Amino acid sequence: MANLFSYDFRYDDNEHETETSEAQKEVEDRIGRVYMRLVDPQTLPLGGEIDDTRHRLLRAKHEQFINDSIHGLSSVFTVLDSSRPWIPFWCLNSLDVMGSDIDDRLRRHTTDTLRRMHCPSGGFRSDPWQLPHLASSYAAVMALVVVGGEEAYSVVDRHAMYRWLMEMKQQDGSFAVHTGGEIDVRGIYCALVIASMLNIMTRELVSGCAEFIARCQTFEGGIGPYPGVEAHGGYTLCGLAALEILGCTDVLDLGRLAKWMCVRQMPFEGGFNGRTNKLVDGCYSYWVGGAFPLIQKALRRSANDDYLYERPALQRYILACCQDTRLGGLRDKPGKHPDLYHTMYCLIGLSLSQHYVGVDPAHEIADKSSVFSVPARMMQWGAVPARSKIIGARINILRPVHPVYGISFGPLAQGIKYFYSLPPLAELLV
């Protein structure tokens, strides 16, 4: 794909127009106009090449967009009331990945806010009259890890969290996202991220999780939310990351999974879609792009092999098409409004496409029986500077991100160091 631009890469509907193909053409028209402005005119006779030196990450605008959101959202955001723990996670993680300053006042405010959302019986919720939710609990725990420090870490009652997770645990290995709630791979991912972060992994907690995820792999190769349902980028990342925590990605048909992941990158746009015959979306820069380091390790490919997708093409899509140059923040695609969700997932997807993050197959930790093998295996991940691929200005470089946890290595390492200095609930996982 390189930096070649050509309308020959557009979707071909074979002269059978559908609602789907018309929507795809409309998106390609918008993105084509963006890319044409970046084409070097002298290269047009040869097909056109995009001048990638012109790409700039609009850091100051994104910081302002995030800080404005922290200090007050308009009434239209009442729809996010039940998802309030996500807002500090989206905001703080975006700032951290950009290397922006998170001052002490903001750290204290975030800690105090999430403390009020902590449920005494375990888990996090937006308000006292709402049920604790696995997704909200995941967001709250990760936000506290980004904040860092004992005051933030101590917000979580580890023993209450474990008891609540076990209440959500189902006999088939899955987790309900709340009492009486839906069951899907997302619940397993949230539960295992929380448990592996807080040092509350036990044999009973992880029992059956890998087998449930394996049953969710579809004939296409990707992973669906539960058995028998269409494969989806978000559930694929969740399933693969959960298996990485467990140390058993080999329960999947990895070749079929890799093929499905590869065809998620759109040949004209450069970004990813989340399902077959769906439109490109900036958030899949992480929900699909973040799965490539995981499949790389699962297939025991080295840094010399590189990832199985075109990294510069994804960066080009994010920098050229997903940034709102007027308001700041990042978005799904041209024509859409920026929001905190897409801002964070575009940024961590951009980071993972810039840095080669992986594990050296020759030094991979094989043990998965001890609870202490979990942090050891998670922290063997790291960025390989010699394999970075960064388009545009040096200002575009972001902090490397761990593909399982979606946060940078600094706060992740500090959080793991703190929680694994506390007594584990069990020492063996098998």
Active-site positions?
A: 232, 275, 278, 281, 283-284, 332, 339, 342
The rounded distance, in Å, linking the Cα atoms of 129 and 50 is 53
The rounded distance, in Å, linking the Cα atoms of 38 and 50 is 5
Task: Give the residue carrying structure tokens 């474990």.
Answer: 162
Structure tokens at 215: 């049953």
The rounded distance, in Å, linking the Cα atoms of 286 and 148 is 23
Structure tokens at 245: 């925590």
Q: Which residues pair with 217 in a beta bridge?
A: 223
